[in-house]
Structure 1
Amino acid sequence: MATGPSVRPVITGLGVAAPTGLGAEAHWAATVGGTSGIAGITRFDASGYPVNFAGEVSEFVAAEHIPSRLLPQTDHQTRLALYAADEALKDSGIDLATVPEYQAGVATASSMGGFEFGQRELQNLWSKGGAFVSAYQSFAWFYAVNTGQISIRHGLKGPASAVVSDQAGGLDAIGHARRQIRKGTHLMLAGGVDGALCPLGLAGQLASGRLSTGDRADRAYLPFDEAAAGHVPGEGGAYLVLEHPTAAERRGARVYGELAGYAATFDPDPHAADADGLERAIRTALADAALEPSEVAVVFADAAGVPAADRAEAAALAAVFGPRGVPVTAPKVLTGRLYAGGAALDLVSALLALREGSAPPTAHVTAVPAELPVDLVTGGPRALTGRAALVLARGEGGFNAAAVVTVD
């Protein structure tokens, strides 16, 4: 089995738990149809907070998908992660018993860990005393908990990692998985699931100053729009099964596409919206994929929803592709920003967009400023020609990531 930088992992399984639906196909139907998962916050009483809306995974009932023994020891976002991991592995058709013992691993990303679990146990500590704090608090809050729980549940004894780089995390976890497959690992489950829609989590997110306080669900998150004023928080994300192409071919796996390129950069000044790290990430990912900009059919944007950050992203795209030189879409307006889960979900959407030859619209955005050099897909889906898609992500603190997927 070949090793080294010439190895390009293939993607054979998709698992989604998102405000737009459970499962990749349900998510895609909502995304291409412009059906929003953003609504008033119901997970707790948020009436005292300036944020009115969030993207909740409203269809998910943990007891229907997670073994009862795991419920007491897992946070809500870990339960979503376990569901998405199950779905990705099922979708791949892999029989893990046929994979050599140390040749299947997992790489996940999370920005917040189990905040809801942690808040509950801290409340018990303050109000009742230490005897009422669950022993599971020792790990249920941790950023790496999804990697641990998934690897234990599925017996994934190969390489394991956990990444914390905010919105860029989902792509960075995919990059970690690629590194292991290039070393000869047969299979990696990778991506991101995140979410902390609880008082403690929302307070932390509010500190960024980037959350929207809009009073209409369909106008609260409007990236690249004249009315852009922050983003809506959300929960969920996606995991993907990446396989060594030889291993996938041997078992006759159905292949969604190939991870052709990936790059990560860091802005020297993480507080400067116009830092050039994103452009460098784009150029490096395209070079890694051996593609010219003209070969990219569509870009799935980071879409911060903050005017300065949107201008910087548009400028980076214009520098690489030319002004309005490539179709750009931001379907995350239907889910909110899922932090570590957002880019992984965009990667799923990109693969399905290439499969269907259709770029999903950026719903609700109606007024892109004339001076913004971006060809945003709005109003409805747009037909695509081409076999490559670029997914971008920028994380709080200066993280940038770019990934290129291709289909035959």
Structure 2
Amino acid sequence: MKIKIKKLISKDENFKKKLYLILKKKNNILNENVDLEVAKILDNVKKYGDKSIIEYTNFFDKLNISCVSSLKISLNELKKSLKFISKKNLDSLYVAADRIRKFHEYQKLNSGLEGFSYIDKNGNTFSQRILPIKRIGVYVPGGTASYPSSVLMNVIPAKVAGVKEIIMMVPTPHGIKNPLVFAAAYISGINEVFTIGGAQAIGALCYGTKNIKKVDKIVGPGNIYVSSAKRKVFGSVGIDMIAGPSEIVIICDGNTNPEWIVMDLFAQAEHDILSQSILICPDEKYLLIIEKIINKRINNMLRKNIIYKSIINYGLFIKTNNLKEACKISNIIAPEHLEISTKNPNKYLKYISNAGSIFLGSFSSECIGDYCAGPNHVLPTLQTSRFSSPLGVYDFIKRSSITYINKISAKKLGNFASNLALCEGLQAHSMSVLSRI
């Protein structure tokens, strides 16, 4: 198994055009057939509720259940799952949970999430009230892709925000339950768990059924069916984001141990054959060394077939003139994860404007961020870090503006409001104001 990695050189005449074509190929993940199938599933869940949930769960997860209540996992069962986990793994879950909670508590204190109030010179009061969303749904992938870290990252910020009701959906194909996922749910403070997956789980969360209360917002990653379903229900409920395949850009000066860089590239590639790993470096000899090590190590990896397909189809090396130019190119890519593996990485941080999560220095591997650094690993993909942020406490709150106008100001401000209303041709607006004067 030999990998020949695509390479671009920034000084080439058609560099940007070639880069955009590579990004476009990866970003084109929409599938009309999937969308049609998902629309049908959602419509059936909306119409038939629990009956559809039972049918789809039996079909997709190869089960034989007759009622939705049998898919509900009690909090006692979640607690019991702790007994099936080694002390080493349990300690790791608790450490990760504590660090994630601490980061998001700091985030809450320092992100303007406490509201405000002020009184103008005429005695009118204006304020912003912030309240947590009442009920959220968290989707967690199941089956071969079981991620307890995803439970921690989605649930803990919601708990810090003050959300009182959190329901988790996790598929259990063939009835196989992952004790680590259940333990993470218990440690996070989840309220309800149903072993339901796919688009039908999103439909149940959005529309509600006899046994499942509808939620106000849905968060959490999933496959293309889940992403399509989240896109379709947006508006009826809130969603966090449409998550695409995992991606990383590594800006390297050629001084980091090349074995480390190779494993960082592999770490992203092993997620999915659609994942993308990009290395940007001004040192051509270093890029050749990295490619040599990739081909030396690939056959020893447990998920070598996935890594191979990911790198062959979407992997990329970019040779630049210097590191500042590397930062500019990274901003075009707008990656989910960005490692700046250079000497004095803070020097280059100021040039970065588009990235979901940034890791500074050669010891700051993105994989620590995946699990227990503290910042959230639910991040914008598919170049959406140009306008989106990591999942955070702010995703689980809502803001209300509050206005109190006294009698004197009603007259003074009313004339301005009336004039503007008439400018827009809205007579009733004007009369609503003038009737109080």
The TM-score range, normalised by the shorter chain, is: under 0.3
In the superposition, the TM-score normalised over structure 1's length comes to 0.26
Greater strand content: 1
Select the structure with the greater relative contact order (CA < 8 A; seq sep ≥ 6). Answer: 1
Q: Is the helix fraction higher in 1 or 2?
A: 2
TM-score normalized with structure 2 length: 0.24
Q: Radius of gyration: which is bigger?
A: 2
